[in-house]
A and B are shown apart, each in its own frame.
Chain A
Amino acid sequence: MNNIIRTEHAAKTYTIGEITTTALKDVSLEIPQGSFTCIVGPSGHGKSTLMHLIGGLDRPSDGKVYIGDMEISRIANSDLARLRAKRVGFVFQFFNLLQGLTAIENVEIAMMLAGVPDREQRVRAEELLALVGLTEKAGSKPSQLSGGQQQRVAIARALANDPDILLMDEPTGNLDSVAEAEVLDLLQTLHRQGKTVVIVTHSDEVAKRAERIIRVKDGLVDQ
């Protein structure tokens, strides 16, 4: 199986004022294409940082990060943006929908940023909302949706440009158990359809569903 995500000795330090914090020390890992992987570990040990690096939201201070054959730690900002638009779909703990837009517009905006023409956006966004079971809520603003519904909109949005990889940071962290189960079922369906799913979590419920588990502790991968 090909590895779609690979890191070699990736490290990340942040400097705020005169204080330097090391979030990741030395992480080398491989995530096969089409796998369902969970990155688990205690809060503050570098899980989210790791997700930011492998999703191209941030660059490592040291080491290398690959998506497929592309070494993304050195490419231009605009290429990194294109990679996020087309190859990676993000889902965050706090849903992170744009509050001023309706559910369907939140899905469309991801396509707009990838350069999909306005008319095609609507058709595909409707399909995606149907996929996550929210056809009826297409015209609702995020504030009119429950947490579980918002997270399903976020998943629809992450799927908008048919990315290879779904990267999720605590996607069920703010959901009750019923909504959590619904979201996880949806993710498993997507995984069966061939998506590579990577979830950062400290929920056992989520980790139970994963094929592979990567443990992060003190900025290192705990094998």
Chain B
Amino acid sequence: MTPSKLVFRNITRRRGRFVFTLLGITIGIASFVTFMAMGGNLKREIHRETAALGASLMVLPKGSCGYEQLSILTGDQMPTNITVDEVKKIRDIKGLTAVPYLSQQTAINNRPVSVTGIEPQATFAFKRWQMAQGSYFSSEESKDAVIGVVAAKQFDLKPGSTITVRGEKLTVQGILAETGGRDDAGIFLALPLAQRLFKAHEQVSYVAVRVDNLAQTEAYIEKIREAVSLGVVSDKQMLKSVMGIVGSVNITLQLIAAVAVLASAFGIVNTMMAATYERKREIGILQALGARRRMIFALFMMESGIYGVIGGVSGVVAGLLAAAVATPYITQNAFTTMVKGSGSGTLIDLKVIIYSILFSTVVAILAGIYPAWRAARLTPVEAISYE
């Protein structure tokens, strides 16, 4: 017999109570892990999307804040306040490539999809796209659509299929090869068509700019600001402000989950208190057999610690499963659309796993202190005389 064997015997004696207490902490940790995993995915996606833009600078309407910058990454609907004339002025600056985008949304089968108006040739080169099926836009004034590979799968579309955008039937001309980013889930139209459909005559949402000499990026920000009265941010600034928004959302979600874990901690307190009452007499027997208070305390602490470890492990498993299962069903909005990503799946972050199990164990141990102290405080005679 060893103390750990004894603890294991005790914990499995009341199977129902064991399972219910464990469920409490499992659910708490699972929600914690789900949010952490999703948050982690979101951050990874943001990094990837930012890189996928292929731009070192973004030109946006003046006074744009982090939310608009986030919209660029998520493909959310954006105001169209930049004129074609302004795009031309930017392009007149030497040493950069500028590509305008019109960012809108439509719905197919009641599911929101981002629609981007692009200059076909410029964007193709800028994004280094490749085709998976069908062909790319035949001209800059094409009346057809090109779609991402995830969108094709999601809505069961092939080259030749038709989609309806703003009441107009469009033929899917081709499907892009997987980019691993948000473009995979989008629909692309030639800019003139998009401007007509979304009533944004001669206007675009934002302009992506690639500077030939990256060392001069800061200087180009000034040059663009001189040429047009628009806001300019570098990709690094954009990443920083977007991460700021995402970070605060993440922390809020994790705090909610942490409250769930804390609530389950009181489940452990309850169970352990019940165990100390129930085993009062046994505590007395152990004391009569020579158990020190330290040993009684340790036995009870180990027992609650086990709830933490097992609950942590099962919570991590349940949480990662939930994240994997739930992610595809999350409706699109600015914060969650990217979790959906391009079907890369939930990446299992070892740090999340370790932190969660550690968190659950620490909470369970803290929850066990009071009951264990109560148990250890019993005097042998008091405990053994208990009927």
A: residues with CB less than 8 A from B are 52, 55, 57-58, 77-78, 81-86, 90, 92, 96-101, 105, 108-114, 118, 121, 157, 161
Contact = CB atoms under 8 A, between A and B. Distances in A.
What's the dominant secondary structure at chain A's contact region?
helix
Given A57-B380, A90-B289, A157-B289, A118 B1 contact: yes
A114 B295 CA distance: 11
Interface string B1-35: 11100100110010000000000000000000000
Contacts of B289: 84-85, 90, 109-110, 113, 157
B236 interface: no
Interface in B331-385: 379-381, 384
Given A58-B380, A118-B1, A77 B293 contact: yes
A13 to B, nearest CB: 13
Given A58-B381, A101-B9, A111 B288 contact: no
A110 B286 CA distance: 8
A199 to B, nearest CB: 16
B1 A86 contact: no
- Top-5 shortest CB links A-B: A85-B290, A108-B1, A81-B292, A84-B290, A57-B380
B282 interface: yes
B281 interface: yes
B1 A121 contact: yes
A98 B381 CA distance: 17
A50 to B, nearest CB: 12
Interface-centre pick from B285, B288, B384 (highest chain A CB count, 10 A): B288
A100 B13 contact: yes
Given A77-B293, A100-B13, A112 B287 contact: no
A99 B295 CA distance: 19
A112 B13 contact: no
B295 A113 contact: yes
A110 B6 CA distance: 12
B381 A81 contact: no
A78 B287 CA distance: 10
What's the dominant secondary structure at chain B's contact region?
helix
Contacts of A96: 281, 284-285, 288, 384
Given A57-B380, A57-B384, A118-B2, A110 B9 contact: no
A125 B90 CA distance: 90
A110 B284 CA distance: 13
Contacts of A57: 287-288, 380-381, 384
A92 B287 contact: no
B291 A81 contact: yes
Contacts of A78: 292-294
Given A58-B381, A77-B293, A100-B13, A109 B1 contact: yes
A112 B291 CA distance: 9
A113 B291 contact: yes
B227 to A, nearest CB: 81
A40 B152 CA distance: 93
25 contacts: A57-B287, A57-B384, A58-B381, A77-B293, A81-B290, A84-B287, A84-B288, A85-B291, A90-B288, A90-B289, A96-B288, A97-B285, A98-B282, A98-B286, A100-B9, A101-B1, A108-B1, A109-B6, A109-B286, A110-B289, A110-B290, A112-B6, A113-B289, A113-B291, A161-B290
Nearest to B385: A48
A86 B289 CA distance: 9
A121 B2 CA distance: 10
Contacts of B294: 78
B1 A114 contact: no
Nearest to B9: A100
A72 to B, nearest CB: 13
Nearest to B284: A96
Nearest to B13: A100
Contacts of A110: 289-290
A92 B289 CA distance: 12
Given A82-B290, A84-B288, A84-B289, A92 B3 contact: no
Contacts of A105: 1, 9
